[in-house]
């Protein structure tokens, strides 16, 4: 029996989650339909635009993403500290960017709520919205519903556009988070769409590389900043530079971002992409990566973990001790994928929160 979503997403276990949405039957999110010859590439921009908007409204950080022909991936982090810091007026302002909020809230925004009962009701609604604005289900609902409506309008049809509710995997430790982000960022290369990370359009790794290159150029030559240059990647796709991605914070013990160095992550993804290519199955560099040393992960284990992430693991991904705790909480004897997790995860690296 499927696990209820409220049991899959728990901040007590982890703030990091891998979400996947896939189109139903022959529906195309983007790409070219070989049967009809019709191109749907422009729909990638729909996803980018909506993702950009939602990342600025919700207290949910986008760690990585990849938009493919009939599905998309997102590794998301719930930022509870950020949500709890919002004042009532800021919550209302954020929520009403997506929904009307109702007549009472509209009156509150223009200062027409005169009674204590009205103000109390507005505060009550705002607290409900605070919870929703750090809820992955609401984030994915706002993303998927918008894309489905646009696609159905363009295709002049009605009915389901997505297979069903999005698939969600809880990433319980650092190895799971790194492996999943790497798996997501390498999706276009694995699918044969492109050969380099820089060419993998509509992925977080391409966006990060473009932004990093621009920032490096500005650092070396401050005069470049006055030219207001944009990364080559975002020149072709303007909204991509606006997607708010979670920061890499190099081992910080805070809730500010992803606890790794950005340069280490670039090196890790690049090496992994080269190592798992079909024509280089046995290739392992002489010196392993610094970030793998820090996590105590062997290269063979790493490649096996990243190789087919979504099929190897199900709802929860992490070390055996964390999975045992979740089994106890949910009164289950085992979870799907637990044997694979026991084999690949050492359990020596609890997630940094």
Domains detected in the chain = 5-83+135-344 (3.30.70.1290), 96-132 (no CATH)
Mean pLDDT of 57-84: 94
Mean pLDDT of 75-91: 95
Confidence at 234, pLDDT banded by 50, 70, 90: very low
pLDDT value at 247 more than 50: yes
Confidence at 257, pLDDT banded by 50, 70, 90: confident
The pLDDT mean for the chain works out to 80
- So what's the pLDDT on residue 352? 42
Mean pLDDT of 335-353: 62
pLDDT value at 230 more than 50: no
Angle formed by the axes of helices 174-185 and 204-220, nearest 10°: 90
- So what's the pLDDT on residue 163? 87
pLDDT value at 235 more than 90: no
Closest CA to 131 of 282, 258, 11: 11
Least reliable range by pLDDT among 79-83, 195-199, 225-229, 301-305 = 225-229
- So what's the pLDDT on residue 353? 41
**Alpha carbons 28 and 332: distance in angstroms, whole number:** 38
Mean pLDDT of 127-143: 96
**Alpha carbons 8 and 230: distance in angstroms, whole number:** 39
Alpha-carbon 182 to chain mean position: 12
275-285 tens-digit pLDDT: 765 555 444 45
Least reliable range by pLDDT among 1-5, 128-132, 202-206, 307-311 = 1-5
Find the angle CA(79)-CA(119)-CA(56) to the nearest 5 degrees: 25
The one-character DSSP state at 222 is G
Higher pLDDT, 127 or 36: 127
pLDDT value at 173 more than 60: yes
What is the reported pTM?
A: 0.80
Alpha-carbon 282 to chain mean position: 30
Beta bridge partners of 227: none
Structure tokens at 175: 């190895």
Least reliable range by pLDDT among 21-25, 67-71, 227-231 = 227-231
Mean pLDDT of 248-273: 80
Strand runs labelled E in 187-233: none
**Alpha carbons 259 and 251: distance in angstroms, whole number:** 4
Confidence at 200, pLDDT banded by 50, 70, 90: confident
Mean pLDDT of 170-196: 88
- So what's the pLDDT on residue 111? 85
- So what's the pLDDT on residue 270? 87
**291 and 267 in contact (C-beta within 8 Å)?**
yes
């Amino acid at each position: 029996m499927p696990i209820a979503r409220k049991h899959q997403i728990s901040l007590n276990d982890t703030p990091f989650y891998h979400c996947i949405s896939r189109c139903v039957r022959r529906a195309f999110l983007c790409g070219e339909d070989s049967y009809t010859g019709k191109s749907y590439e422009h729909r990638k921009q729909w996803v980018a635009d909506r993702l950009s908007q939602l990342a600025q409204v919700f207290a949910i950080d986008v760690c990585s993403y990849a938009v493919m022909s009939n599905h998309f991936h997102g590794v998301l982090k719930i930022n509870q500290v950020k949500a709890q810091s919002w004042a009532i007026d800021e919550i209302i302002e954020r929520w009403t960017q997506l929904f009307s909020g109702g007549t009472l809230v509209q009156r509150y925004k223009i200062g027409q709520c005169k009674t204590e009962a009205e103000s109390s009701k507005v505060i009550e609604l705002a607290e409900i919205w605070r919870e929703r604005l750090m809820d992955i289900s609401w984030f994915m609902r706002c993303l998927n519903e918008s894309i489905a409506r646009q696609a159905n309008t363009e295709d002049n049809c009605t009915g389901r556009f997505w297979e069903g509710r999005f698939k969600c995997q809880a990433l319980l430790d650092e190895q799971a988070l790194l492996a999943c982000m790497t798996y997501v960022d390498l999706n276009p290369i694995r699918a044969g769409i492109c050969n380099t990370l820089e060419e993998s359009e509509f992925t977080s790794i391409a966006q990060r590389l473009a932004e990093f290159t621009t920032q490096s150029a500005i650092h070396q030559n401050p005069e470049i900043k006055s030219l207001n240059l944009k990364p080559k990647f975002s020149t072709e796709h303007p909204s991509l530079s606006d997607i708010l991605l979670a920061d890499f914070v190099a081992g910080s013990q805070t809730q500010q971002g992803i606890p790794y160095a950005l340069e280490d992550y670039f090196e890790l993804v690049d090496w992994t992409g080269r190592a798992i290519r079909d024509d280089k199955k046995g290739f392992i560099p002489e010196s392993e990566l610094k970030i793998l040393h820090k996590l105590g992960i062997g290269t063979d284990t790493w490649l096996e973990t990243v190789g087919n992430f979504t099929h190897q693991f199900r709802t929860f991904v992490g070390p055996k001790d964390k999975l045992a705790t979740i089994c106890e909480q949910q009164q289950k004897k085992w979870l799907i994928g637990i044997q694979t997790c026991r084999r690949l995860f050492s359990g020596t690296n609890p997630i940094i929160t």
